[in-house]
Amino acid sequence: MNYPLMLYISLAMFTMGVIGILTRRNPLIFFLAIELMLNAANLLFVSFARQWENQIGLVWVFFVVVVAAAEAAVGLAIIINLFRSKQIVDIDQYNDLQG
Amino acid sequence: MTGIDIAQWILGFLLVASSFGVIIANKPVYASLSFLSSLLILAALFLLLSAQFVAIMQILVYAGAILVLFMFVIILFQDAYLQIGKFKARSNRWLLTIAGISWVLLLAGVGAVITQYPVSANPLPEGFGTVQSLGQALYIDFFFPFEAVIVIFLIAIVGALYIGRKVHS
């Protein structure tokens, strides 16, 4: 049970999600990068729970997964609706809210 | 170094590699397949960390529900891609270079610090991570957040239906 290694992997995964969001412009891959970040947080929760023998971390993983499912439903609906309204795949061109 | 440690190293490497596959994939289908493999590897890591219920739930909910929903959306988009021909949303090459360099620097810096942490293997309490003990925690200690999450989920589903409806203009 290598606990610093788990933290390190979680860090690598989370920052990879951040890089994906900052560089990719496809909304679907954007969405998957967000899921990567959520999963990195889950790994962190589980490894902390294992290290301190406390099950509360595992309970929080449950909540994170449920919120991720809700986010998936709403986010994918927004992506479909955006595409239906403007017929564009590039997320940089959806700048209607910039004022 | 025990067998579990070696397995953790290998699984961690595979996890980072498949996460990398998610963000460099050209098409969303490849990205989602790579994400699926990273989910399975993550479930194996959870099993190694003796969180059985969380590992099973990860596969069921993520790979079974969220990723399938995602695949349906990709199928919906497929037609759109063919019509428009804008497959690759472009990404800036300089931006990618800067992001990669800072990522490597960050990991090297944190890795230099984190190797000084002690690697300890604490003994597990009885019934850690099983469905029974987690159910007790979830339904007794966390009863109100559990119910609140149900309401959040209901609102999200209604909102998704409302956003996704057909507007007659």
- Measured in angstroms, the CA of A39 and the nearest CA of chain B are apart by 8
Torsion angle in degrees (nearest 10) through CA of B95, A83, B81, B157 = 100
Q: The pTM is what? A: 0.88
Is the pLDDT at B88 greater than 60, yes or no? no
Whether A55 sits inside 8 A of B164 (CB atoms) is no
Check residue B83 and give its pLDDT.
58
Mean model confidence pLDDT for chain B: 84
Considering only CB atoms, which chain A residues are within 8 Å of B141? Answer: 56, 59
Partners of residue B92 in chain A, C-beta under 8 Å: 23
In whole angstroms, give the CA distance from residue B96 to residue B82: 27
Q: Of the candidates B5, B9, B68, which has an alpha carbon nearest to the alpha carbon of residue B36? A: B68
Tens-place pLDDT, residues B95-146: 888 888 998 999 888 888 887 777 766 777 777 878 888 888 889 989 999 9
CATH architecture entry for A3-92: Orthogonal Bundle (1.10)
| pLDDT per residue as tens digits for the range A77-90 | 888 888 877 777 77
Residue A1 binned pLDDT confidence (cut-offs 50, 70, 90): low
Most confident of the ranges A30-39, B92-101, B159-168: A30-39
Q: Residue B34: pLDDT band by 50, 70, 90 thresholds? A: very high
Other C-beta atoms within 10 Å of A39: how many? 26
Q: Which range has the top average pLDDT, B5-9, B36-40, B74-78?
A: B36-40
Residues of B in contact with A43 (CB under 8 A): 42, 45-46
CA angle A18, A19, A20 (to 5 degrees): 90
Q: Do B103 and A46 touch (CB under 8 A)?
A: no
B49, B81, B141: best to mutate for the A interface, most A CBs within 10 A: B49
Q: Which of B13, B73, B88, B124 to mutate to test the interface with A (most CBs of A within 10 A)?
A: B73
Average pLDDT over residues B58-77: 88
Chain A residues whose beta carbon lies within 8 Å of the beta carbon of residue B9: 2, 5
Contact B41, B29 (CB under 8 A): no
- Determine the residue among A1, A22, A52, A67 to mutate to test chain B binding: the one whose Cβ has the most chain B Cβ atoms within 10 Å: A1
Q: Do A67 and B149 touch (CB under 8 A)?
A: yes
Among the partner-chain residues A23, A49, A59, the one whose CB lies closest to the CB of B99 is A23
* Cβ-defined contact of A5 to B9 (cutoff 8 Å): yes
Terminal-residue alpha carbon distance, chain B: 66
